[in-house]
Structure 1
Amino acid sequence: MVMVLRGEVPVILQPAAHAQYKGAYCPAGVPFAEVRRGPLDGHTEYAVRPDADGGVPPVMSFDGGRFAYEYDGHDARGRAVYRYAPRLSPAHQGIMDGVAEVYAEHALKQLKAQEGGR
């Protein structure tokens, strides 16, 4: 559990919703649902400090700016919900290309298994 200092708001990182993944890079052969997944989804060890007006930062970035999460309101527990933002994450295309390779390898293995079973 995160140690929240006075004035801070706990954060939960979640997969992208439609607003975040619409128009994001998705290579052929990869289900678009894979675009939603962020590398830090489910993490709760972060907190943000609201500004003077009570607003939280619109975007949080991680790993030297490689991954971005976009603010999407508060949950029932009062945590600030940040959703993975693939369009704002410079590492997203490289990750998706890697995912595409895994899907292609899996499809090739299945094809070889079907051919060997005949």
Structure 2
Amino acid sequence: MATLLRGEVAAILQPAGTAQYQGAYCPPGVPFAEVRRGPLDGKADIAVRPDPDGTLPRHMTFGGGRIVYEYDGRDGRGRAVYRYAPRLSPAHQDVMRGVAEVYAEHALKKGGSQR
């Protein structure tokens, strides 16, 4: 867990929920469930500073703005939950193309071992 400075709130990054992944890019041959996975899911050693009015920032970005997580409330431990936002993440299509390559390679290996 992150060491919190005065006013900061602990945060955790989670996979996309329906609101974030609906309509997101998914290449052929890849299960749609893969769209939910963000590259930083599960990261819990981060903190966020509320805006002057007390609200938490709507988005958290990483990788120079190429990976976006969207605020989705708090969990039972009081941490701010940010969910992966594939539709808002410029890196998403590149990541999904990489996932598609892995699925294609796996399919080739699996098909080749059945001969």
C-alpha distance in 1, partners of 2:113/2:81? 43
C-alpha distance in 1, partners of 2:56/2:34? 28
In the other structure, the counterpart of 2:84 is 84
C-alpha distance in 2, partners of 1:30/1:77? 34
C-alpha distance in 1, partners of 2:104/2:78? 42
In the other structure, the counterpart of 1:58 is 58
Question: Which is worse superposed, 48-57 or 24-33?
Answer: 48-57
| Cα distance, 1:53 vs structure 2 | 2.2
| Cα distance, 1:112 vs structure 2 | 1.1
| Cα distance, 1:52 vs structure 2 | 2.5
Query: Deviations for 1:29-79, whole angstroms, at most 9, x for unmatched residues?
Result: 000111111111011111111122211000000011110000000111111
In the other structure, the counterpart of 2:111 is 111
Matches within 5 A, 1:12-23: 12-23=12-23
In the other structure, the counterpart of 2:39 is 39
Where 2:76 maps in the other structure, the secondary structure is coil
C-alpha distance in 2, partners of 1:43/1:111? 36
Alignment of 1:97 onto 2:97: yes
Where 1:57 maps in the other structure, the secondary structure is coil
Query: Which structure has the greater CA radius of gyration?
Result: 1
| Cα distance, 1:2 vs structure 2 | 0.4
